[in-house]
């Protein structure tokens, strides 16, 4: 559902809408799904009304103390962020009930268990124009005729990781600016404030260069460590070479619904660079965020990264392909695997290809190309086919023509 788009370094008071009254967990219903939805409704009501005891009343009374404590921290964290909306829903469409196949009942003393997808939708007030959507995998357990939340990571060993958020471990610090909602742990407040100023400078640069409309408002999240960042974006690759990410996705239940983007900082690397490089990096990330509403599933990484890096570098029109290039546009895997030099070259190849496109067809051609390609959301053909078709509609040349011209430059 989500995708992370990365930038690599050169070295490698709660306000809610739709508030409802607190309700206790419902008695056993006709189906586990209906009962579980009742538990979720009670959790939503508790979060929106600030009822900590009501939230904890939805937790399995026989759960380990560590899980109950973690649930209390999660509630406190949720109450620290400015939620505009918050909703939880049981979904069986894609997963069914996973409790039986996972053999969960013995873990809960033989009690009945139920484990569907729990779909989370929420918005951060004033900074999200669309929902952020994530999948939780909560285990529901029946005790004495009532259902409760008994666990949230029972499928982790099978690779079904629950979505994690900065506020899961307790209250976070919130720093709103004109364009950014900067979220950090309290101990990282000074760096978060510095990043807020850097991000505002990046927004100035982006506004000059990006010619498509967007909200110009986005959450910026500063994890305390690389390990925490890896959990938040559910990374499947080594983050140590990167400096920042934009994370967003799409819901494909009945079509194509883009979700709200977030900027994540890998600050062990980013803070080591001069301030202007940090501004340039966040300009790159902001272009990803600005392009998110236009992005479709068939845009290759070289287009995503090439356009963003070209914008961040000031829209050059004379850049040639980098030394060591084989003259072939990079495939998606080249942006996340291999050594730092290989990854940096993939970015440089992409940026120089977009520079070539702009030199031939004007400074507006890259964004028109991106938007045209992104519009192919449910369409036949692979990414190369759709990239070729979009280029022909925008420029009258195809993908092979673009690659040859760029390689000869």
Other CB atoms closer than 10 Å to residue 409's CB: what's the count?
Answer: 16
Residue 161: what pLDDT?
Answer: 85
Q: 13-41, pLDDT tens digit by residue?
A: 222 223 233 344 444 446 999 999 999 99
Produce one character per residue of 30-66: b if its CB has 16 or more CB atoms within 10 Å, e if not. Answer: eebbebbbbbbbbbbbbbbbebeebbebbbbeebeee
Rounded to 5°, the CA angle 203-208-211 comes to 105
203, part of any domain: yes
Same domain, 188 and 231: yes
385, part of any domain: yes
Question: Mean pLDDT over all residues of the chain?
Answer: 92
Which letter does DSSP use for residue 16 in this model?
Answer: -
CATH code for the domain in which residue 106 is found: 3.10.450.50
Q: 303-327, pLDDT tens digit by residue?
A: 999 999 999 999 999 999 999 999 9
Same domain, 202 and 280: yes
Give the total number of structural domains in the chain: 2
Other CB atoms closer than 10 Å to residue 172's CB: what's the count?
Answer: 23
Are 81 and 174 spatial neighbours (Cβ–Cβ below 8 Å)?
yes
Cα separation, 268 vs 265, whole angstroms: 9
The range of the structural domain enclosing residue 107 comes to 32-161
Same domain, 203 and 275: yes
**Residue 292 φ/ψ, nearest 5 degrees:** -55, -45
Residue 162: what pLDDT?
Answer: 84
The residues pairing with 5 across neighbouring beta strands, listed in sequence order, are: 246
Give the residue from 333, 323, 326, 328 showing the smallest Cα distance to 301: 333
Same domain, 138 and 72: yes
pLDDT tens digits in sequence order for the chain, 409 residues long: 455 565 544 333 222 223 233 344 444 446 999 999 999 999 999 999 999 999 999 999 999 999 999 999 999 999 999 999 999 999 999 999 999 999 999 999 999 999 999 999 999 999 999 999 999 999 999 999 999 999 999 999 888 888 999 999 999 999 999 999 999 999 999 999 999 999 999 999 999 999 999 999 999 999 999 999 999 999 988 999 899 999 999 999 888 889 999 999 999 999 999 999 999 999 999 999 999 999 999 999 999 999 999 999 999 999 999 999 999 999 999 999 988 999 999 999 999 999 999 999 999 999 999 999 999 998 999 999 999 999 999 999 999 999 999 999 8
Relative to beta strand 180-184, strand 218-222 is parallel
Residue 4: what pLDDT?
Answer: 58
Cα separation, 274 vs 208, whole angstroms: 22
236 Cβ partners below 8 Å, 6+ apart? Answer: none
Cα separation, 336 vs 343, whole angstroms: 7
Residue 7: what pLDDT?
Answer: 55
Residue 58: what pLDDT?
Answer: 98
Q: Which of 161, 188, 220 is the last residue of a domain?
A: 161
Q: Which of 138, 161, 184 is the last residue of a domain?
A: 161
Residue 20: what pLDDT?
Answer: 31
Other CB atoms closer than 10 Å to residue 175's CB: what's the count?
Answer: 16
Q: What is the dihedral of CA 123, 127, 129, 131, to 10 degrees?
A: -20
Relative to beta strand 132-136, strand 117-124 is antiparallel
Same domain, 210 and 267: yes
Same domain, 155 and 209: no
């Amino acid at each position: 559902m989500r995708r992370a788009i990365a930038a690599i370094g050169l070295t490698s008071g709660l306000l809610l809408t739709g508030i409802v009254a607190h309700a206790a967990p419902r008695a056993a219903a006709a189906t586990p799904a209906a009962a579980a939805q009742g538990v979720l409704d009670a959790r939503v009501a508790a979060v929106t009304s600030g009822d900590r005891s009501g939230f904890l009343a939805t937790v399995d009374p026989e759960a380990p103390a560590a899980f109950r404590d973690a649930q209390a921290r999660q509630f406190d964290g949720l109450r620290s962020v400015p939620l505009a909306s918050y909703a939880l829903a049981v979904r069986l469409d894609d997963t069914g009930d996973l409790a039986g196949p996972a053999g969960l009942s013995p873990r809960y003393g033989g009690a009945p268990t139920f484990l569907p997808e729990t779909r989370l939708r929420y918005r951060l007030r004033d900074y999200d124009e669309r929902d952020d959507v994530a999948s939780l995998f909560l285990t529901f357990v029946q005790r004495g005729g009532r259902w409760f939340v008994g666990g949230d990571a029972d499928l982790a060993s099978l690779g079904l990781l629950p979505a994690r958020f900065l506020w899961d471990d307790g209250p976070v610090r919130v720093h709103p600016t004109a364009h950014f909602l900067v979220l950090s742990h309290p101990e990282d407040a000074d760096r978060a404030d510095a990043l807020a100023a850097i991000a505002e400078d990046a927004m100035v640069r982006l506004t000059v260069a990006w010619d498509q409309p967007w909200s110009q408002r986005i959450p910026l999240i500063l994890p305390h460590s690389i390990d925490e960042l890896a959990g938040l974006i559910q990374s499947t690759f080594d983050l140590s070479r990167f400096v920042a990410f934009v994370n967003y996705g799409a819901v494909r239940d009945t079509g194509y619904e883009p979700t709200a983007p977030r900027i994540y900082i890998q600050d062990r690397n980013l803070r080591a660079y001069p301030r202007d490089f940090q501004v340039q990096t966040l300009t790159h990330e902001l272009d990803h965020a600005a392009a998110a509403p236009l992005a479709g599933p068939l845009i290759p990484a070289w287009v995503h990264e090439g356009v963003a890096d070209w914008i961040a570098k000031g829209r050059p029109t004379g850049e040639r392909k980098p030394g060591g290039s084989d003259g072939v546009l990079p495939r998606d895997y080249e942006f996340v695997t291999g050594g730092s030099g290989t990854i940096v070259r993939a970015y440089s190849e992409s940026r120089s290809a977009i520079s070539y496109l702009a030199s031939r067809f004007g400074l507006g051609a890259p964004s028109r190309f991106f938007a045209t390609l992104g519009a192919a959301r449910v369409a036949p053909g692979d990414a190369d086919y759709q990239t070729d078709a979009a280029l022909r509609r925008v420029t009258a040349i195809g993908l092979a023509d673009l690659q040859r011209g760029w390689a000869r430059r």
